[in-house]
Amino acid sequence: MTLYPTRRDLLFSAGNGFGALALGDMLTAESRAAQQGSQNPLAPLPPHLPGTAKSVIFLFMQGGPSHLETFDNKPMLRKHDGQLLPDSLRDFDLAQINTADAKVMAPQFSFAKYGQNGQEISSLFPHLSQHADRLTIIKSMHHELFIHGSAMIMMHSGTSLLGHPSIGAWVTYGLGCESDNLPSYIAMTDSIFRNGASMYTSGFLPAVYQGTTMRAEGVPIQNLQRHADLTGREQRILLDQISSWNRRYRETRPGDSRLDARISNYELAYRMQTAAPELIDLSSETQETRQLYGVEDGPSARFGKMCLMSRRMVERGVRYVQLISGGWDAHGDCKGNHAAQAKKIDQPIAGLITDLAQRGLLDSTLLVWVGEFGRTPICQGSNGRDHHPYGFSAWLAGGGTVGGRSIGATDDFGFNAVEDRIHVNDLHATMLGLLGIDHEDLSYYFEGRDHRLTDVGGLNNLAHRLVRG
């Protein structure tokens, strides 16, 4: 093999084989090692406090599922179906929602009580409802953002501002990675990432903490394989030479550990060439397991495969898994939309909970289900519902939480969160707390001040309550 004559040429050539982790990431990554004295920015780090969870699977329902059709039963809506809202709600000063002449729409699905404590769950979820005793349903989620884009950024980064790190990046920054051959943070979707990279960005954190997108079918990560002109041996020689140059250069820059991040990213990409294809190869899974997730055929096949892969990820030490199910934006035909969407996710998520429990992983894996907002209690058009961020639902399971209960409440019409109100910052503080991270101590200095995921919020941290029961 004839090596290129300059280091710059070699870096350019090597970049052709590692697009998944992005050469830009490698060249701009600033290692947390500068703060903590480690040569590996993704080295496992101890939590601030004893945590109950080691990993997170974040189940995001993109588009905004209706709380009134899923987990927040409101009999008053049935009683007042087709009527105007009460004056107290019609006078509510919200420019985004027409409360003046819009009429109440009854829930489009029935509710029943499940589990020892009678958790109320919609008929949309016949499989998930069997896990009622494992779910903590939060019925008082809220924020102030009415538009999809800003609301999704809020749900993923704790602010409506672009350029801030996603929660998965914060978790990776705080705890590092337990896998030698896979990224700490992986994101997947059954449709599109509606806000693009802002859904899994590292923001102003070093780029090494950004999520890696993975496909459920075909090539798991684009451009991961080595260039066709390189043999395996040649690629190894190339990487070793680049590493040698990088280490030599680093020795002349004591205290500057940015090259450590570059070196570790090159090596991770090299190892992933084998690990990533193995991850999505489900041939070793039993037929029983595949049926549990509904991956064989039908509407649940794609999301079912994503859920099964997420279990395989946490088994292999991936810290944060983000699964996105798109299509919940029910401005028209709320009933038809939600029925179709629920068929995609109900069996896979229930199967994931069952599988994690059977393998002894549920206690260490936190599951979080939420959308960017809920839907209005009043009708949009003839049978749809508009965006509604002022009161909506989420649920948590696993990760050491004690399930079988609900937290918070909206008013009788599901319009406003009125009891034990949980802001997005509170949800994020709770997630970090269950991982053993003090949300007030997890910070990063940027543009003249310390930033944190929860900013000045996160005061209603549910972590201790969820564990105590």
Query: Could you read off the pLDDT of 59-118 as tens digits, one per residue?
Result: 999 999 999 999 999 999 999 999 988 877 766 555 567 766 789 999 999 999 999 999
Range of the domain at 463: 51-220+285-468
User: Residue 390: inside a domain, yes or no?
Assistant: yes
For 173, the 3-state DSSP assignment is: helix
DSSP string, 178-225: S-SSS-SEEEEESS--TTGGGGT--TTS-GGGSPEE--SSSSSSTT-S
User: Residue 255: inside a domain, yes or no?
Assistant: no
User: Residue 235: inside a domain, yes or no?
Assistant: no
User: Residue 269: inside a domain, yes or no?
Assistant: no
User: 75 Cβ partners below 8 Å, 6+ apart?
Assistant: none
Q: Residue 322 is which amino acid? A: Q
On the question of pLDDT at 56 being above 60, the answer is yes
Q: Do the Cβ atoms of 123 and 99 come closer than 8 Å?
A: no
Can you name the residues that pair with 422 across neighbouring β-strands?
A: 141
For 111, the 3-state DSSP assignment is: strand
Question: DSSP label at 445?
Answer: E
Q: CA–CA separation, 412 vs 418, rounded Å? A: 10
Q: For 131-162, what is each residue's pLDDT tens digit?
A: 999 999 999 999 999 999 999 999 999 999 99
User: Residue 34: inside a domain, yes or no?
Assistant: no
Q: Do the Cβ atoms of 21 and 268 come closer than 8 Å?
A: yes
pLDDT band at residue 33 under the 50/70/90 scheme: very low
**Residue 388 is part of a domain; what is its CATH number?**
3.40.720.10
- Which residue, chain included where needed, has tokens 């810290």? 319
Q: Do the Cβ atoms of 44 and 174 come closer than 8 Å?
A: no
The domain tally of the chain equals: 1
The mean pLDDT of 7-34, rounded to a whole number, is: 41
Closest-CA residue to 170 (of 211, 121, 216): 211
- Which residue, chain included where needed, has tokens 């907002």? 373
HSE-CB at 360 with a 13 A cutoff on CA atoms is 0
Q: Which pair of tokens denotes residue 302?
A: 């794609």
Using CB atoms within 10 A of its CB, is residue 46 exposed (0-12), middle (13-18) or buried (19+)? exposed
Q: Do the Cβ atoms of 151 and 62 come closer than 8 Å?
A: no
User: Residue 375: inside a domain, yes or no?
Assistant: yes
pLDDT band at residue 215 under the 50/70/90 scheme: confident
Using CB atoms within 10 A of its CB, is residue 33 exposed (0-12), middle (13-18) or buried (19+)? buried
Q: For 35-52, what is each residue's pLDDT tens digit?
A: 344 467 888 999 999 999
User: Residue 29: inside a domain, yes or no?
Assistant: no
User: Residue 388: inside a domain, yes or no?
Assistant: yes
Phi, psi of 370, deg, nearest 5: -170, 160
Q: CA–CA separation, 11 vs 316, rounded Å? A: 30
The mean pLDDT of 449-461, rounded to a whole number, is: 95
Q: CA–CA separation, 365 vs 356, rounded Å? A: 8
